[in-house]
Structure 1
Amino acid sequence: MSEAFIRHIDELKACGVFKDAPKGQVEFGRYNLMYGWNGSGKTTISRLLRSIEKGHIDPAFYNDDGELPTDFAFKLKMSDNAVIDHKNLTGFEDKVRVFNCDFVRDNLNVDDGTAKPVYYLGEEQGDALKEFEAVSEKLKESEEALDKINNDHKNKQDRLNTQLSAQAKIISDNLADKGFNRASISKLLQSLDFQTAWSSFTLSDIDRDNMIRASKGVNDHVNQPLFSVSLPHAIDGLLTRIQEIAARTITKKAIEELDNNAALKKWVSDGLDLHQERQECAFCKSDIGAERIEELNQYFNAAYKNLISDIDQACADIEAYITDVKQTNPVDALNLFAEYRDAYKSTIQVFSQKKTALINNFMALHAAMLEKKNQSFSGIDIAAASQSKTLFGELKDAADAVNEHITKHNQHCTDFQKKVNEAKDKVKKHYASEIYEMFTQQNEELKALEEKKEEEENTKNGLQTRYNKLDGALSTHYFALDRINKLLASFIGRKDITLTANEKGYSIKRNNVIAKNLSEGEKTAIAFCYFISKMEEKAFEIKDSLIVVDDPISSLDTNALYAAGAFIRMHLQHAHQVFILTHNHRFFREMYGWISVISFASHDLVLVLLNDHYTSASF
């Protein structure tokens, strides 16, 4: 605004009560005092000038549809002939300050939701409070929406769980499977194999009942072990040794008495071993001559002893074979399914025959070895040795025949359980298919609720973040309360009304008691003192600025009115240009008396009488 000031209003169209004004041009001065009744246009003039302060047209000029009247226009002529109109409002924001009812509304806000109302000073905190209240309401709505979503989800999930449990119980009862529960059927319904072919799992009533019966089949049999015929040593090696022993002969000195008596021969052989270091017979106590010992040693030489040792080892091996073969027995036929028993018994009978034949063969070999002891000086023929290998092979073949029937039995056990399991699987899938469409629909609805919940949670979190930020802003105190309280006492001429800082916002006390209901005059007074305190900030130069004050003394008594007049004189007299608007005749006269004194020499006082269309002025 530089050094220029508003000289006059050239145009007012569709601006509040002014339809097309002024009809007579009024030239303004440094101090301008406007008087008019309510509805005469004072607030309209102040809003016009506040539009310059804000850099945009005041919202009050807009219609209910958010549009300006089509013929809306205003134009101000400056003292340097510059023009400010409704199309060009920017650039003057730091040079204009307007106090009116809108300033009171925007800068003194109250949160009266508690027993002790909390006030907020300043347009920033006022805006923050309004947004805080709006955000609080939205946050509450969001929390309620979340509660509803959660309740809907829980109720829907509970209903689904009830239906799943009921269907699972049907399956559990039909299959006598106590382990089949809600989780089991839910897992089945969610399996990919089931979902891709669920409609094919539905059975007719007859098929369903057949599968239920098949699922209850009881198998009293278990798998039986297969058996094998094995011997501790390879039979080929044993037979080779037996034949070698049978063919072996030894050279000896003949002693006819021993040759003719096998028992005596053994007795003497054993005794000779015991008397190698003795000279007296342990039996008869007679002396044994050296010649007799030598004679017997020649008869029982090392070759003979080795032969006897080999025969004994062969006999031991044959006995071990016989023991192993005797202990090789298949399972009892009663352990097999009935349909396999007769054939199984036949193979067992053959096996027993082959087993007996092999045992007899081994016993013949054993007897031949014992016979060889008595015929150590000549070879013997053992016919049984040529049959042993064949008999052993026949025994193994008989064992394989027995195992074939055991294998059939075991496969039957496996197949039986497999068929039972297949029947159970069909029953489960049948009953699951009955509720698949319901299950799918319910899950889709649950998923939609979960997505809605996630979206609402994001909304709630965003609101909560904004709520916390606004709450912090409202908890910040930007103003020096001591200064405002001093201004307030000066303005109304008493100290009974004061502001105190709370954790959030401010309390207003009347005689040290929190005031719950402020009068319009008290609200106006507090807001006006805040208005003055803002003008005292370093960034604002009052001597270069336009100050507009619209009715700052609403409802004040006479004494307070005089104090207010003095207060205004003190704080506004150095302004570059002043507009004071009032409907109070007493206040008008108070201001007139002050301004007429300070502007007497300069003729800077302009008096304007407002009526319904801003028509007259006097100087």
Structure 2
Amino acid sequence: MTTDFKLIIIGDAMRIDLSDEQIFIDNYLELDKPINFIFGKNGTGKSTITKLINEQIVDKDVRIYQGIKSVIANGKLNSVVLGEENVAAQKKIEAYEKEIVELEDSKLNFEAEKQDWKDKIISKNTEISRQSRKIKSFYSESAKKIKNNPLHIAVPSYQSPNFEKELKYAFHLSENEKNDCRKYLKTDEKIAKKISIRKNNFVEILETTNSLLESKVEEEQCVIRLDSDDKKKFAQTGIEIHERGEICSFCGNPIPDKVFDELETFFSVSKIKKFETSLENKIREIKQIRSEIKSITIKEDDFYLQFHDDIRNYKDELETIINEQDRFLTTLENALVSKFAQLFSASTLISTAILPKSSEDIILKYNNIVECNNSENLPWLKNFSRDLLRFDLIHTYVSKSDLNSQLKQLSLLKNEESQLIKKLSESENEIEKVEKQISEIHSKILIEMEKTRSEKKLANNINKKLKLYVPFQLEHVEAKQGNHQGYYRIKDVFSQNDEYRDVNSLSKGEKNIIGFLYFIEKLNEQTDSQLDKIIIFDDPMDSNDDMMQYIIVTEIQELMKQIDKNKRNDILIIMTHNVHFYINVKYNRLYKDGKDRNGAHKSGDKFIRLQKTDFKTKFKILDSEGQDFSTSYELLWKELRFLYEYDRPNLMLNSIRRIIETFTKFNKIDDFYKDNREAQKLFNVNSHSIDDLEADLNGKNKEQIVGLLKECFKSNGAERHYQLYWRSSNK
């Protein structure tokens, strides 16, 4: 069965596929930092992770250190093809370096131009900021006035951005329009009533009225003396107010029964009564119509302002028609009232010329306005009125200011800045071109340097670091004819007969430190490969390597410094089961982006704990130092005692510095050294890295160093503290 491995790399992040490995609970491991720490006991899968990265990687140069066996073959340290310095190649290198110098000069000129454009952009940006502040100040002041307007035409949170956003809506309102808007803000809900449409047929009313006017009560018998309507009316009234046997109110004589019988026959009571009832009914009908017509009223206050003009017009028109109808009906009513005096004769008819107009059309129009008015959204009207008043104020403030010219000036400044940025970009492009040329020449130099490289340099660098710690040194044996590789052998430093030892004859710790330093030197070696590296230290410390731990820790920390400063684009993975080594190698590293203990800003690293659960490994991501092992104060003292016992005064200084740092921070002591400047200089300045081990850092032995430390504690009133920790460190 063939397995296709995939390693996903995004920027500095790697996702390792673990799906085919039964040992892990998770299907993948993500390493998303340039520097990654993985702690796990033996058997938790560290070597498996190393193997998977090496198998899955496709576009990185993977370098793995797993102890001396990873750099030794057949008893000899692996080496590269050798070759002495080639004169022709050196001449080419010198020519290339001369080109680089010229290009660097050109680059400096372009960088000077770039800086000049940057300075001008900064200056221009200052002008833009000043101009922007001026405009924003106007926006802010105007917004404040609008927000504080007594009509409350803006929301309480109205500020400069709101004003700026609404500039495009600014326009002028007339005084009448502003007054209307103000009225809307004070307006309550308006509900108008419709007018019921009564379809009065005035033609029919006129016809029925004329019919009554031309009608008369017919006489039953002739009474010659009643030869006029007035006399007939007089006689009718007399019979109505007198009873039989009474005295006539007019002449004072008794009224004979014969007269009563004559007049009752003349005046047919039933016919008269019927005719009068018809007149009364018609008059009542006309009065009712008049009352209904006159009850029609239109109240302008029942309508919102936008309908007032139409309502006024309809009101005037309707009042004219109503008056006309009322006059017409009054004429009919008066004619019918007069008819009571002419019951026995036909009256003059009323002409159709006085027929009034119908009010139906105008009432329909009015009722339509009522529907529109009653369907209005008053909250929306009020908000719209506030908006209009606010936009009018914006227009007013802008009109009284020189905003347009200020905006024009700002636009001009921004255009000038754009031109400067364009010039800056051109300079940067030129610099990029030069850098590309320099990079290409460097590549050519690397090709030539491969012809001049010698493994002797590598052996010298390793020996420089080993000199103070082991009684031997590396010696490189050049390749014999027909063999493309040389090899290393171990030479006793104190031997008078140039005795050599096989690599396998060294102790485990000695072999490990040689292999480790060889690996470090090979990392720094120039190669044809342009790929970035993934550097893996898989348990670089053996349990018996305590004496060499400090060299290994310092070398790895130096590697981390290069990555921190972006001098290398590599990814570093440190895996170990050794707690003591783990605590020391991660000293002053950060779990999150921030400042380290020296106040320098750094990016955080990745910290992973491998934990066994039911025979499987799970990953625990550590987000803070509190979740991790910590370098205890007691451990620092034990470390100092260890170095003291092995007589390593140079390495003791680093431990002392960290003891003092912890003690002074905890006790908030600013002047720990007081007047002891010798101790201050020694413990602060001379705490060098392992890079300079061949130098005599201080000229003092271990007892003198410990004595100085004791004096420092004594001068701070902490002699008892010193004695307690120094004695306990020996247990």
Does TM-score exceed 0.5, indicating one fold?
Answer: no
TM-score by length of structure 1 reads 0.30
Asked which structure has the greater RCO (Cα within 8 Å, sep 6+), the reply is 1
Q: Who wins on radius of gyration, i.e. which is larger?
A: 1
TM (norm. structure 2) is 0.26
